[in-house]
Chain A
Amino acid sequence: MSRASSLARYSFWQLRDFAIERGVAILIIGFLWGYALIEPIRRAVGTSLPGTASPLWLVAMQISSAIVSLSVLIALNGIVSADRKAGYYRFLFSKPVNPVLFYAQLFFVYMVGVLAAMLVLSSLLHRILPAFSIPHFLLYTALVYIAMGGIGFFLSVATRYDWLTLAAVWLGARVLRGIYGPGNDWRSKLVQLLPPVHRLDDVANSLIGTGSAHMADVMWLLGYGALFFALGLAALRWGSLAD
């Protein structure tokens, strides 16, 4: 039995862990949050205005993009650091397993899990807001997962407090860009190196709404996430598994 095939078989357990430990939480939070904010508006205005002209549309756009970000945060929380903190790595990696492949697989298994959870939630939303496109929403979810998840993955390899640091990086990038924004001084140039979270709003509106987005924005987000994901894998390869 090759090491690759045994690791692939283990993906079943990884997906099961995701469903039990994170998937259910994502579904409950997403459903309650969406229901609490969208249902009163739906009752008030109904679906008399079709499609994107409905007031419901704007609320749905905001909520759905926020739920995606929160879901990615929940999914990536402790993806590597939890095993190190609890010491689970000791038995896992005394087996003939490459930790880099193990966690790379885990990252993508969790991505499948997040997409499945978003499929369920977006299907519910689609029932009350038919203009809401499930494929466009899943495309946006995948983009955010790579963009935000890549950074989260790196932070989970690099620090024990990945949830906190990811939230700080995400929020900090927005705040600093708000303060220093586009400009020619060194601080403005420096904040350009921060995660391009400011591009997410535009991408969310266009990608969920129309299924298309500025390629430059998408590439920035994907590239940034992919770069940090690769850095995380490199840190796993060349760093120590134990603290």
Chain B
Amino acid sequence: MAKLSPPGDTDDSTAALVIEFRNVGKTYRSLLGNSVKAVEEFSLVVAEGEILGIAGPNGAGKTTLIAMMLGYLRPTTGTVEINRVSARHYVERHGIGYLSELIAINPKWRAETALVRFATLAGIAQSEIPRRVGYVVDLLGLAEHRDKKVKALSKGNLQRLGLAQALLRDEQILVLDEPTHGLDPVWTQHFRDIVGELRRPDRTILIASHNLDELQRLADRVAIIDRGRLQRVVSTTYENTGDGSTTQPVATRFRITLASGHELIRAVFPQAEDAGRGEYDVTVHSLPELNAALADLIGKGALVASVIPERSVLEQQFREAVGESQ
């Protein structure tokens, strides 16, 4: 896989790049006067260098939120600012690497031509365009498809073309809406590697996805929204921020697999449920409690093969948040 460090064209700005949603609301009104609130009182600050996940069920308002962040939609209430200027103003001045959920590229264009067009609009120097286009084509494995018309591309290849156009420039902000939609497992893993390499202290990445496992792996925090409202922001790391703004993840149900010492499990976890084949389901209330119990179990002579949360911490938080709102 090609290295993810295209030379040149970096933004000179040294100011910390902050994206701020302040009391943002969006109401769609029909000609007949019916109205639908897509987003309500959404406030969130995304820091420079952060990878923020946005999770929510269908129709939660994720795409509307992103459209407002790119300035495609005007909020009905509140403001969206990037570096203290309106989002649209920022995008027009600096550009944003954006992969939309719906990959809409003129089907008559050829894949490589589409990238050349986008590179031209992105302000890449004429002499640089072939190199930049070649770079993203190699990165996303599009070499054999570069002469195909967009309409001839498979869903996965179209998704990769969409991602390629988002990575043409060395953007400070990347917004990826359902980025692995349509990708096969191999390219899903490639995508995760790419995002991992894109992480940089001066780059902010937003990823909206239904795939909680993906967000758990990639994001630093995940904003869970439902019915247009921010339900909670969950940290995907176990580091305590201490500021109280972020919910710390605590899984409560774990499946423990023992290689030996099965008779010891109930001495440590009296309520353990036997799931068969040396696996036991246990309930704890905190990570220190789990760690202490495991230390006790190992100290008594048991050999622990694996400890797996029954649900990922994010999934658990998601279920609670969405369940609570309903």
Contact = CB atoms under 8 A, between A and B. Distances in A.
Interface residues on B, range: 20 to 34
B105 A95 contact: no
A240 B48 CA distance: 27
A20 to B, nearest CB: 8
Nearest to B92: A98
Contacts of B121: 6-7, 10, 92, 95-97
Interface string B78-112: 00000000000001111111101010111010000
A15 to B, nearest CB: 13
A129 to B, nearest CB: 37
Interface in A124-183: none
A13 interface: yes
B123 A95 contact: yes
Interface string B101-130: 010111010000000011011111110000
Interface in A1-57: 1-3, 6-7, 9-10, 13, 20-21
Interface in A180-226: none
B72 A93 contact: yes
Contacts of A241: 71-73
Contacts of B162: 91
B117 A13 contact: yes
A92 B108 CA distance: 16
A242 B66 CA distance: 11
B98 to A, nearest CB: 4
Contacts of A97: 92, 95, 121
Interface in A229-243: 239-242
Contacts of A9: 120, 126
A112 B302 CA distance: 82
Given A93-B72, A242-B72, A87 B123 contact: no
Contacts of B305: none
Interface string A88-131: 11111111111000000000000000000000000000000000
B191 to A, nearest CB: 18
B301 to A, nearest CB: 59
Interface in B146-201: 162, 165-166, 175
A89 B105 CA distance: 9
Q: Which of A87, A97, A98, A242 has the most CB of B within 10 A?
A: A242
Nearest to A11: B120
A88 B104 contact: yes
Given A240-B74, A241-B72, A91 B118 contact: yes
B120 A10 contact: yes
A10 B117 contact: yes
Given A21-B108, A88-B106, A96-B92, 16 more contacts: A1-B124, A1-B125, A3-B93, A9-B126, A90-B98, A90-B102, A92-B118, A93-B91, A94-B97, A94-B98, A95-B121, A96-B91, A96-B94, A96-B95, A97-B92, A241-B72
Interface of B: 67, 70-74, 91-98, 100, 102, 104-106, 108, 117-118, 120-126, 162, 165-166, 175
7 interchain residue pairs of minimum CB distance = A87-B104, A94-B98, A96-B95, A242-B72, A6-B123, A95-B121, A90-B100
Interface of A: 1-3, 6-7, 9-10, 13, 20-21, 86-98, 239-242
9 contacts: A1-B123, A6-B124, A10-B121, A20-B108, A87-B104, A93-B70, A94-B96, A97-B121, A242-B72
